[in-house]
Amino acid sequence: MTADLRGKSAIVGTGHAGFGEAHGLTAYDVMAQSALAALGDAGLKLSDVDGLFCTMMEDAMPALMAAEYLGIQPRFIDGTMTGGSSFVNYLTSATMALDAGLCDVALIVYGSNQRTASGKLVTVSRPPAYEAPYNPRYPISAYAMAAARHMHQYGTTRAQLADVAVAARAWAQHNPEAFERGPLSREDVLGARMVGDPLTVRDCCLVTDGGGAIVMVRADRARDFPKAPVYVLGSAAESSHRQISQMKDFTVTAARESGARAFAAAGVTPADIQVVELYDAFTINTILFLEDLGFCAKGEGGAFVEGGRIAPGGVLPVNTNGGGLSCVHPGMYGIFTVIEAARQIRGDAPGMQLDGIDLALAHGNGGVLSSQVTAILGSQATL
């Protein structure tokens, strides 16, 4: 989105459900519980929703399935599927739809029961034809090759990758909603079972159940709800490929472009951002996105995260809920970057609440570093 849409929409409700294990529930049950939680947070009802923004992993027409399940008949619907970034991407389409009057109450929602249903990633997407014969393990083989290239080109070390997981765990230890809260050291990560060199199982996100939801309205009525509004100041996407074999430079993601445009729309710079929520499917993601979004130079991400610099008490708070590595990762994590960013701004984060947060960044990743979407959120004071 451009600066014309800066602050035109606001998040007035967030909710989640089924974190960890949602025994006996379907993915759509978890989706619906998340929707109810977010609407309750906003003081709204399902019958108020006239815009639906949804995709899920187990069906080819999930937005229609969700609308039907919820018993609503939305007049605007967006089911664009760019993987885990979809839900950050919906901030743009929801803002446009709200601003154009195509809907008045936008519900962004997701749910999954992948952990209790199968214990692994559930997806209807098929392995790409020119990769499938080699039997890569999706998605880890893709991220492992990106990590290997980054290490080769910039001297990034496995210990630096491990420190991303250690920092995420340190945040999670403050968050009662996080799934993994036990102690985790650099040595634990390095010594864990190798899954796809150079990544061990502790370099990989969790496999959990869970759902999340966000309610958005036009800015002109954003102050009429129980919780402090969180404004969408900028959001932008860039897509570079679908298959990892088509990624032009394994050390540079399209977050460079999505980030630059989101910052331009919001009229702020990385130095202004007080808290950063990144889609950390693997430890290499955090390093790549910190570089590509401009928090450090290309190649310096390893040093940037080393030794607790993004952990509580460090130089930049990153993934303050514990991230996909330690809080929750139900197949697609993107919506939780927005929820945690919004809650830090509202002042009701479930874990460590930081003081005086007015500006936060949420970044979604989809596919295999394929789709990058950046959003900048702000408090009333930033308008």
Partner 1 sequence: MQVPDSTGPDRIFQRALANKEILLPRCDGCGKYHFFPRVLCPHCHGVSISWHRASGKGRVHTTTVVRQKPERGGDYNICMVELEEGVRMMSRVEGIAPGDVVIDMPVTAFVGEAGGAPAVLCKPTEV
Out of 36, 46, 148, 252, the only residue in the binding site for partner 1 (CB under 8 A) is 148
Q: Using the rule CB under 8 A, give the single segment among 1-9, 20-28, 148-156, 265-273 that binds partner 1.
A: 148-156
Other residues' Cβ atoms within 10 Å of the Cβ of residue 318: 26
Closest contact distance (angstroms) between CB of 371 and partner 1 is 18
Which candidate, 278, 312, 322, places its Cα nearest to that of 181? 322
Residue whose CB is less far from partner 1, 123 or 245: 245
Out of 27, 146, 232, 311, the only residue in the binding site for partner 1 (CB under 8 A) is 146
Q: Do 298 and 291 contact (CB within 8 A), yes or no?
A: yes
Out of 133, 182, 313, 356, the only residue in the binding site for partner 1 (CB under 8 A) is 133
How many residues of this chain bind partner 1 (CB under 8 A)? 26
> Could you say whether residue 130 binds partner 1 (CB under 8 A)?
yes
> Could you say whether residue 245 binds partner 1 (CB under 8 A)?
yes
- CA-to-CA distance for 59 and 131, rounded, in angstroms? 23
Q: Using the rule CB under 8 A, give the single segment among 100-108, 135-143, 154-162, 256-264 that binds partner 1.
A: 135-143
For 27-62, give one letter per residue: b (16+ CB within 10 A) or e: bbbbbbbbbbbbbebbebeeeebbbbbbbbbbeeeb
Backbone angles phi and psi of 199, in degrees to 5: -100, 130
Residue whose CB is less far from partner 1, 76 or 250: 250
Which candidate, 121, 94, 93, 92, places its Cα nearest to that of 106? 94
Q: Do 202 and 162 contact (CB within 8 A), yes or no?
A: yes
Other residues' Cβ atoms within 10 Å of the Cβ of residue 151: 18
> Could you say whether residue 131 binds partner 1 (CB under 8 A)?
yes
> Could you say whether residue 197 binds partner 1 (CB under 8 A)?
yes
> Could you say whether residue 193 binds partner 1 (CB under 8 A)?
yes
Nearest 10 degrees: CA dihedral of 285, 288, 290, 291?
A: 180
Residue whose CB is less far from partner 1, 55 or 141: 141
Residues in contact with partner 1 by the rule CB under 8 A: 129-137, 141, 144-146, 148-149, 152, 193-198, 244-246, 250
